[in-house]
Amino acid sequence: MPGLLILLIVLSLNFSKAQNVSFTGEFKQSNLIIGYAADLDYAKLDGIKLLSDNGYFVFGFDRDSPLIHYLTVKLKNGKSIVKKIELAKRRYKIQRINRMKKKFVTPPPKELARIKREGKILKRARSKIGVNASAYYLSGFIRPVKSGRITSVFGSQRILNGVPKNPHNGLDIAAPTGTPVYATADGIVRLTGKNFFYNGNFVLLDHGQGLSSIYLHLSKIDVKGGKYVHKGEKIGEIGTTGRSTGPHLHWGVNWYGKRIDPASLLKLDLKHVRSIGNKLSSTN
Ligand SMILES: [Zn+2]
CATH of the domain at 138: 2.70.70.10
Do both 80 and 108 map to the same domain? no
Last residue within a domain, chosen from 39, 63, 90:
90
- The reply to whether 283 falls in a domain is no
> In angstroms, rounded to a whole number, what is the distance separating the alpha carbons of residues 82 and 45?
10
> In angstroms, rounded to a whole number, what is the distance separating the alpha carbons of residues 98 and 174?
17
Last residue within a domain, chosen from 90, 121, 155:
90
Domain residues for the domain of 196 are 94-265
Do both 145 and 216 map to the same domain? yes
pLDDT tens digits, residue range 49-92? 999 999 999 999 999 999 999 999 999 999 999 999 999 999 99
Residues of the chain with pLDDT under 50: 1, 7, 10-11, 13-18, 278-284
- The reply to whether 131 falls in a domain is yes
Ligand 1 center from residue 126 Cα (angstroms)? 19
Last residue within a domain, chosen from 90, 114, 141:
90
Contact 45, 71 (CB under 8 A): yes
- The reply to whether 281 falls in a domain is no
32-37 and 149-152 strand pairing: unpaired
Ligand 1 center from residue 212 Cα (angstroms)? 16
| pTM of the predicted model as reported, rounded to 2 decimal places | 0.87
> In angstroms, rounded to a whole number, what is the distance separating the alpha carbons of residues 103 and 222?
29
Ligand 1 center from residue 18 Cα (angstroms)? 41
pLDDT at 269: 87
Ligand 1 center from residue 174 Cα (angstroms)? 10
Do both 169 and 221 map to the same domain? yes
Ligand 1 center from residue 52 Cα (angstroms)? 30
pLDDT at 278: 41
pLDDT at 274: 64
Do both 122 and 247 map to the same domain? yes
> In angstroms, rounded to a whole number, what is the distance separating the alpha carbons of residues 58 and 255?
9
Q: What angle do CA 119, 31, 209 make, to 5 degrees?
A: 60
